[in-house]
Amino acid sequence: MNEWLPKFKGENLLAEITKSTDGLTYMSETDAPVEPFSGGHADVVDIAKIIENEGAAKHEKLSPKKFFERLTTVSDWFGPEQTETARRFSELEELLDENLSELTVFKIGNIQIDIYVVGLDADKTLIGIKTKAVET
């Protein structure tokens, strides 16, 4: 049986995520920075660890693959800047996927949405990225 061995741990992983998200923007009906996220210790990835009261806001859970698909797909009409952004999102997806277990995406809210892409690091700390979106 192969044991999952992340390349980065703890503060090193957070530093890598910080480098990967520097200047990266999530585009929706508004543009928002993509930022590192670090929560507390958790046994499982759970929405209640992200928002204080699970019933406080409408939320949706989706797969990281579905979330990143739009961000990493390069279209024929892309210029150099859009192609570079797609490449950076691909690298970020890979970094998170290789270093976190239970990687999950939570979209919290209605219209003005908080997005968290989080998982557990080797020390069972909730870690990942966060951003915002406007969806009408």
Look over the chain and give the mean of its residue pLDDT values, rounded to a whole number: 89
| pLDDT at residue number 56 | 56
Which of residues 104 and 9 earns the better pLDDT score? 104
- The pLDDT tens digits for 62-86 are 999 999 999 999 999 999 999 999 9
| CATH, range 10-134 | 3.40.1460.10
| pLDDT at residue number 81 | 95
pLDDT at 5 over 80: no
| pLDDT at residue number 92 | 98
- The pLDDT tens digits for 92-127 are 999 999 999 999 999 998 889 999 999 999 999 999
- The pLDDT tens digits for 34-52 are 999 998 898 999 888 787 5
Q: How far apart are CA 31 and CA 41, in angstroms?
A: 30
Q: How far apart are CA 128 and CA 118, in angstroms?
A: 4
pLDDT at 2 over 60: no
- Which pTM value belongs to this model? 0.89
- H or E, element range at 33: strand 31-33
120: left (phi over 0), alpha (psi -120 to 50) or beta: beta
